[in-house]
Amino acid sequence: MSKRNFNVVNKPLRKIDAMSLALGKPSYVGDFKPADALIIKMLTSPHAHARITSIDISGAETMPGVHAVLYYGNVPRIAHTTAGQGYPEPSPYDTFMFDSKMRFVGDRVAAVAAETTKIAEAALKAIKVEYEVLQPVLRIQDAMKDGAPVIHDEPEARAVIPVPYEPKKNMAAKVDMEIGDLEKGLAEADETIDFQYYNHYAQHCPIEPHVSMAWVDREDRIIITTSTQVPFHCRRIVAQTLDIPVRQIRVIKPRIGGGFGAKQEIVLEDVVAMMALRTKRPVYWEYTRAEEFISSRTRHPMLMRLRLGAKKDGTITAMGLDCTSNTGWNGSQGLTVVCNSGSKMLPLYRCDNIHFLGMAVYTNLPAGGAYRGYGATQSAFAFESAMDELADKIGMDPLQFRAMNHIKSGDTSPVFRALGEGREGVDQAITSCELARCIKAGAKEIGWKKRKPHTSKKGRYRRGIGMACLMQGSAIPEIDMGAATLKMNEDGSFNLLMGATDLGTGSDTVLAQITAEQLGTTLDKIIVYSSDTDMTPFDVGAYASSTTYLSGQAVQNVALKVSKQILKVGADMLDCKASELKIKDSKVVRKQGDGEVTFSEIALYSMYSANQFQIGDISSKIVHHSPPPFAAHFVEVEVDTYTGHVRVVKYVAAADCGTPIHPRLAEGQVEGAVMNGICYALTEEYLFNDKGRMLNANFGDYKLYTLSDLPEMKTILVPSYEKTGPYGAKSVAEIGINGPLPAIANAIHNACGVRLRTGPFTAEKVWRALQAGGEIPFEEGH
């Protein structure tokens, strides 16, 4: 429950950038492209696994209009990770700006910077390359076989934190954890299940693809303007890759046209920085949609085995989850994604015997990366499908089964400590959990009571209802840090300078709301600037559902410090003690009696009149908890049993995100995530040929839902009050994407008895399962 009446927080105010975006004012990287920018284009590998035996760039280099050609022979060879994560990164150093070994169709061969796109493309054609083609590895199971071709055989490949890393076995990451005794738990169970599940490839599909530009200023510093979620990590990793000091680089992040995790990677910036240095001209590189699909990042496909045991009374006695992800050609975020598959789902249900094995393996396919849901999407599919299957076996209603087992306020889980992000986690008790109310509200809205078993359904079109329970986190405890600077201006307005990055989520508005609430002023008085590594303080960036919870605390802290300074100056002006004053409506007023000064008068006084100083401060925040948001999702589907086509009739998402700082934006996050999840469940898939080339890298063939596909959708925010969060807030951005895959799988089963354990649930797959009496043999997909 909300604990306070707020003035600015918890209100659906107009987004601070709404008008400028609606009017199409220059906002995005592409809007700032200098007229004289050179265009970068990349020649990529046609082979999934190969070695360059010879390369001749002379034809391109001498072409009129071409200013530079980069390839492995003329750039530094520095092993690094492209993952925009905290330092030292939990992802292995297995990537080079350019290499002579090709590890996927789409790998970098050589980059050209030229006066026009046409010249750049012609120059790519003039580069002569010969390859020794190697056997590609295109499936997880093949990568793990003895004697499988080694994808990272270079000596430099290494892990930089103490974690298992065996590139000779194509193993990019491994984590193993046991609490209690899984085998004992399984033996104690009245019923057990043991199934395999597979999550398929998907891309984030931001409307704005990856895009970066760079130029060198008169001090020889490289100014990179880029669409990134992680400007500070970007600066650090580009400096490392180019072997230049951090101080020589400035990274500016303008507005971002969507990221969803894809832009938590250094995908273009190393090359634009290097090209700017080489050419001394502004350079610009924007991915095509095909490049975005192939050479950017994806959701890690994951092969999972889940063993569960329960007693007839519904007590869960054992949970064993094995997850092996396909991290593709590099190990970016491989360890942490798979850790999250365990840490974000295993604590959801109480159990004494838990085993988790997580691995990430290299293949010669596109690389996985951070993607909304971050490993939890994968394991939620397995877990929440299995919960239905186990409930069925013990003869219990799946809703009741979940309701009696899920974690509640005051509970803790040993998993929190055992599994962190690439290292041990942090003990925590749940201080806010309204999952029970989410389940209740969602069940009512979908009409759970009218749900009937599939065996009672007849006819061509059959409807079914399914559900899933979910949890995520809010920032990475003891690792993530955010900071903010706040300073006051003469008119009583404030500059809020943050490293936190709004990637289209509205976090600039949310953080300005928290600041205004704490200062006792209005939203229009907060001027937000984010992010610029020269101007704004450090923030890890937008990932791990951290911005509202973590950066929100940083802005709240700095606003608190500044409001104390304001009271002090007010006391000076009103000739009383600060303790006799309070802030109200952008004024400092006496608690008792007459006397008030406006924020503007205070600013003018402190700047020009007496005891002059700049009212302002900086504050950093590192969090010690990662309070999970919770959600219960419900869906009704209709299956055409003749064709196998699945139609979502209605989707209900009930979410506990603590206090929604901006309720409408929070709802938008849930709805966007759910839509994202629905098309992941039903239509999105990567099609590859047997040589590892993606066949559908465009929006015509790779199908996303648009608004015209929107089913009836109901979002129910069930507020709790998270006392460690700013004004009771937790996160909301990621959790919503985890529900559709399992909820729809369960609804399909409830409709027609078909149980699908590999996504996406295409009509053909459902039809084949119907033909086969409900199941098709399990197969690792793509």
Partner 1 sequence: MNYIDFKSPTQLDEARTLLKELGESAMPVAGSTLHVFLRDESPKVAVDIARLGLSGIRLVDGIFHIGATTTVTALHEHDQPGWVLDRVASEFVTQPIRNMATIGGSSVRVFPWSDLPVALLALNAAMVITGDEERTLDAETFFASQPFHHFALGDLLTSVRVPALTAGQGFAYLKDRRTSTDFSRCTVAAWLSLEDGKIAGVRVAVGAAVPMPCRMPDVEQALMGARPGPKKFEEAVQAGLDTARWKGLHGISDEYARHLASILIVDVLNRAHQEAKGE
Place of tokens 């999952």: 435
- Two tokens at 464? 């079914």
What does the buried/exposed string (b/e) look like for 129-151 if buried means 16 or more CB atoms within 10 Å of the residue's CB? Answer: bebeebebbbbbebbbeeebbbb
User: In this complex, which beta carbon is closest to partner 1, that of residue 598 or of residue 762?
Assistant: 762
- Residues 669 and 673: their CA atoms lie apart, in Å, by 6
Kindly indicate which of the ranges 13-21, 28-36, 477-485, 699-707 contains the residues binding partner 1, using the contact rule CB under 8 A. Answer: 699-707
Q: Counting contacts by CB under 8 A, is residue 700 touching partner 1?
A: yes
Q: Counting contacts by CB under 8 A, is residue 647 touching partner 1?
A: no
Query: Which of 494, 497, 621 lies closest to 565, judged by CA?
Result: 494
User: In this complex, which beta carbon is closest to partner 1, that of residue 196 or of residue 696?
Assistant: 696
In whole angstroms, the minimum distance from the beta carbon of 676 to partner 1 comes to: 13
From residue 97, how far is each of 9, 75, 92, 768 by CA, in Å?
A: 45, 7, 15, 45
Subset of 1-60 contacting partner 1 (CB under 8 A): none
User: In this complex, which beta carbon is closest to partner 1, that of residue 7 or of residue 696?
Assistant: 696
User: In this complex, which beta carbon is closest to partner 1, that of residue 11 or of residue 647?
Assistant: 647
Q: Counting contacts by CB under 8 A, is residue 767 touching partner 1?
A: yes
User: In this complex, which beta carbon is closest to partner 1, that of residue 605 or of residue 686?
Assistant: 686
User: In this complex, which beta carbon is closest to partner 1, that of residue 614 or of residue 698?
Assistant: 698
User: In this complex, which beta carbon is closest to partner 1, that of residue 307 or of residue 782?
Assistant: 782
With 0-12 CB in 10 A as exposed, 13-18 as middle and 19+ as buried, what is 563?
Answer: buried
Q: Binding partner 1 by CB under 8 A: which of 176, 491, 764, 779?
A: 764
User: In this complex, which beta carbon is closest to partner 1, that of residue 642 or of residue 778?
Assistant: 642
Q: Counting contacts by CB under 8 A, is residue 117 touching partner 1?
A: no
Q: Binding partner 1 by CB under 8 A: which of 20, 116, 190, 642?
A: 642
Helix (H) or strand (E) holding 575: none
**Do 729 and 552 contact (CB within 8 A), yes or no?**
yes
- Residues 14 and 25: their CA atoms lie apart, in Å, by 17
Q: Binding partner 1 by CB under 8 A: which of 141, 400, 643, 689?
A: 643
**What are residue 377's phi and psi, to 5 degrees?**
-60, -40
Q: Binding partner 1 by CB under 8 A: which of 705, 711, 713, 774?
A: 705
Kindly indicate which of the ranges 16-24, 283-291, 608-616, 701-709 contains the residues binding partner 1, using the contact rule CB under 8 A. Answer: 701-709
Cβ-proximal residues to 491 (8 Å cutoff; 6+ apart), any chain: 600, 603
- Residues 173 and 422: their CA atoms lie apart, in Å, by 9
Q: Under rule CB under 8 A, how many of the chain's residues touch partner 1?
A: 22
User: In this complex, which beta carbon is closest to partner 1, that of residue 53 or of residue 643?
Assistant: 643
Q: Verify cis geometry, omega within 30 degrees of 0, for the bond prior to 88.
A: yes
User: In this complex, which beta carbon is closest to partner 1, that of residue 457 or of residue 647?
Assistant: 647
User: In this complex, which beta carbon is closest to partner 1, that of residue 267 or of residue 766?
Assistant: 766
How many Cα atoms within 13 Å fall on the side-chain side of residue 606? 25
Q: Counting contacts by CB under 8 A, is residue 773 touching partner 1?
A: no
In whole angstroms, the minimum distance from the beta carbon of 707 to partner 1 comes to: 9
Q: Counting contacts by CB under 8 A, is residue 87 touching partner 1?
A: no
User: In this complex, which beta carbon is closest to partner 1, that of residue 209 or of residue 422?
Assistant: 209
What does the buried/exposed string (b/e) look like for 392-420 if buried means 16 or more CB atoms within 10 Å of the residue's CB? Answer: bbbebebbebbbebbbeeeeebbbbebbb
Q: Binding partner 1 by CB under 8 A: which of 703, 711, 713, 714?
A: 703
In whole angstroms, the minimum distance from the beta carbon of 52 to partner 1 comes to: 28
Q: Counting contacts by CB under 8 A, is residue 649 touching partner 1?
A: no
Per-residue binding letters, 711-750, with partner 1 (x by CB under 8 A): ----------------------------------------
Helix (H) or strand (E) holding 142: helix 140-143
In whole angstroms, the minimum distance from the beta carbon of 398 to partner 1 comes to: 28
User: In this complex, which beta carbon is closest to partner 1, that of residue 63 or of residue 150?
Assistant: 63
Q: How many CB atoms lie within 10 A of CB 471?
A: 26
- Residues 357 and 699: their CA atoms lie apart, in Å, by 36
**Do 256 and 208 contact (CB within 8 A), yes or no?**
yes
Q: Counting contacts by CB under 8 A, is residue 116 touching partner 1?
A: no
Cβ-proximal residues to 516 (8 Å cutoff; 6+ apart), any chain: 7, 8, 522, 523, 525, 526
User: In this complex, which beta carbon is closest to partner 1, that of residue 19 or of residue 772?
Assistant: 772
In whole angstroms, the minimum distance from the beta carbon of 302 to partner 1 comes to: 20
Cβ-proximal residues to 307 (8 Å cutoff; 6+ apart), any chain: 182, 186, 192, 193, 194, 318, 319, 320, 321
In whole angstroms, the minimum distance from the beta carbon of 696 to partner 1 comes to: 7
User: In this complex, which beta carbon is closest to partner 1, that of residue 290 or of residue 426?
Assistant: 290
- The answer to whether the Cα torsion of 257, 548, 14, 671 is positive or negative is positive
In whole angstroms, the minimum distance from the beta carbon of 657 to partner 1 comes to: 29
In whole angstroms, the minimum distance from the beta carbon of 94 to partner 1 comes to: 31
Q: Binding partner 1 by CB under 8 A: which of 130, 132, 424, 701?
A: 701
Q: Counting contacts by CB under 8 A, is residue 502 touching partner 1?
A: no
- Two tokens at 459? 């006819």
- Two tokens at 659? 């206090």
Per-residue binding letters, 659-698, with partner 1 (x by CB under 8 A): --------------------x--xx-x-x--------x--
- Residues 712 and 404: their CA atoms lie apart, in Å, by 29
With 0-12 CB in 10 A as exposed, 13-18 as middle and 19+ as buried, what is 611?
Answer: exposed
In whole angstroms, the minimum distance from the beta carbon of 764 to partner 1 comes to: 4
Q: Counting contacts by CB under 8 A, is residue 706 touching partner 1?
A: yes
- Residues 185 and 316: their CA atoms lie apart, in Å, by 8
Q: Counting contacts by CB under 8 A, is residue 772 touching partner 1?
A: no
Q: Which residues bind partner 1 (CB under 8 A)?
A: 642-643, 645, 679, 682-683, 685, 687, 696, 700-701, 703-706, 708-709, 762-764, 767-768
